[in-house]
């Protein structure tokens, strides 16, 4: 009888201990929730250009930061965060790391990450992914694309109306469909505004070689180009360096550079004419909001153009001699594109049959 009572007493003590432990765990979980660890979280993986490339990756991060701050999220695990890639071999590892850390939505920034996003999305089916500038046909991936040709077109209009030498340039990063859209649009804009203008085109073969961008720009300026547009990521930083250096040597020389992706006027107030805006920040923030609200566009392509405020043109430099005329022309062409009256060519093949009339 005593043995039975002792056994019963031990059972009650153990049961009470289990309940207390359970209560302790419940309390811990609530604490995690209040600290945001269980709330919506979003991360991004940069391409090799880095998060401070003054261009594409930086614009993406600015969008993610804006979303995080607007939703009272903290930077880091459980909130919003980025992982930087130093080579293309980092892509799959970095995407997988953010997914395993529990981020609800993970961005792959740039077309170079297409294969990596496709692979990890298939392995991590419970994570939502979004890729910029490419298409991945998986139900948990949103593909975000832009009409870069429309921004390039407005840059071309501006360059043609600014040049005094009737000679302008274009520096591309790597040859691919995205940069071709910028190039085709730029050439079409120059043609529409002033068909007699000569356009030099050269590709650097990289997005992270500023010294190469500087070298290409130096040769273009030396051979007569007075306005150069780049769509080359970090490589384009060399264009600005060359333009600034030349302007310092000869303050009276009229040379200009046109930026890309974000307003790059901070790269040289005396030499940056404008920038072909690609509002990756808008797309990143918009897609994150949809995912948080339960409206994630998985398996779909989302296309941003002038009509969707996804591309555009930064303010014209106040030092441009005919700023008012350029602004008037840009507004007129913008209206034509938004209304569908003018379709800007997105490939060099389409450019062959292009007419602005």
Task: Give all domains of the chain, ordered by start, each with its CATH number.
Answer: 42-146+282-293+297-304 (3.40.50.2300), 148-278+322-352 (3.40.50.2300)
Q: What phi and psi values does residue 120 have, to the nearest 5 degrees?
A: -70, -35
Q: Which of 12-26, 240-254, 286-300, 324-338 has the lowest mean pLDDT?
A: 12-26
The predicted structure's pLDDT at residue 12: 39
pLDDT at 302 over 90: yes
The predicted structure's pLDDT at residue 11: 42
d(CA 259, CA 236): 8
Other C-beta atoms within 10 Å of 72: how many?
9
Provide the pLDDT confidence category of residue 26 given band limits of 50, 70 and 90.
very low
- The string of pLDDT tens digits covering residues 261-280 is 999 999 999 999 999 999 99
The predicted structure's pLDDT at residue 53: 82
The predicted structure's pLDDT at residue 55: 81
The predicted structure's pLDDT at residue 24: 38
- The string of pLDDT tens digits covering residues 166-178 is 999 999 999 999 9
Instruction: Return the H-helix or E-strand segment holding 47.
Output: none
Q: Name the nearest CA neighbour of 32 among 41, 44, 42.
A: 41
- The string of pLDDT tens digits covering residues 141-153 is 999 999 999 999 9
Say if residues 46 and 55 touch (Cβ distance below 8 Å): no
Provide the pLDDT confidence category of residue 16 given band limits of 50, 70 and 90.
very low
pLDDT at 132 over 70: yes
The more confidently predicted of residues 52 and 341 is 341
Other C-beta atoms within 10 Å of 165: how many?
14
d(CA 73, CA 127): 19
Residues 6 or more apart in contact with residue 10 via CB below 8 angstroms: none
- The string of pLDDT tens digits covering residues 173-209 is 999 999 999 999 999 999 999 999 999 999 999 999 9
The predicted structure's pLDDT at residue 30: 31
Q: What is the mean pLDDT of the chain?
A: 90
- The string of pLDDT tens digits covering residues 70-104 is 999 999 999 999 999 999 999 999 999 999 999 99
For a pLDDT cut of 90, what percent of the chain falls above it? 86
């Amino acid at each position: 009888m005593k043995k039975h009572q002792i056994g019963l007493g031990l059972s009650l003590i153990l049961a009470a201990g289990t309940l207390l432990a359970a209560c302790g765990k419940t309390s811990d979980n609530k604490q995690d929730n209040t600290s945001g660890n269980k709330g919506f979280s979003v991360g991004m993986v940069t391409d090799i250009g880095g998060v401070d490339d003054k261009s594409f990756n930086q614009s993406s991060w600015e969008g993610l930061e804006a979303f995080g701050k607007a939703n009272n999220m903290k930077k880091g695990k459980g909130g919003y965060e980025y992982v930087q890639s130093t080579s293309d071999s980092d892509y799959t590892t970095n995407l997988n790391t953010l997914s395993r850390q529990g981020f609800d939505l993970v961005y792959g920034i740039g077309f170079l990450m297409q294969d990596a996003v496709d692979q990890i999305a298939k392995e991590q089916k419970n994570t939502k992914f979004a890729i910029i500038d490419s298409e991945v046909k998986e139900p948990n991936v949103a593909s975000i694309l832009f009409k870069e040709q429309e921004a390039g077109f407005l840059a071309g209009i501006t360059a043609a109306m600014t040049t005094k030498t009737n000679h302008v340039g274009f520096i591309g990063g790597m040859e691919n469909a995205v940069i071709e859209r910028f190039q085709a649009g730029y050439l079409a804009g120059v043609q529409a505004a002033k068909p007699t203008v000569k356009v030099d085109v050269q590709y650097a073969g990289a997005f992270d070689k500023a010294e190469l961008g500087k070298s290409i720009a130096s040769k273009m300026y030396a051979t007569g180009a007075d306005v150069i547009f780049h769509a080359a990521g970090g490589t384009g930083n060399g264009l600005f360096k060359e333009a600034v250096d030349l302007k310092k040597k000869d303050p009276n020389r009229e040379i200009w550079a046109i930026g890309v992706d974000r307003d790059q006027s901070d790269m040289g107030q005396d030499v940056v004419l404008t920038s072909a805006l690609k509002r990756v920040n808008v797309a990143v923030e918009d897609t994150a909001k949809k995912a948080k609200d339960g409206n994630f566009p998985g398996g779909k392509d989302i296309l941003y153009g002038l009509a969707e405020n996804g591309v555009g043109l930064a303010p014209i430099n106040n030092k441009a001699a005919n700023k008012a005329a350029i602004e008037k022309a840009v507004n007129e062409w913008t209206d034509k594109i938004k209304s569908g009256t003018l379709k800007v060519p997105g490939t060099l093949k389409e450019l062959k049959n292009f007419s602005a009339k």
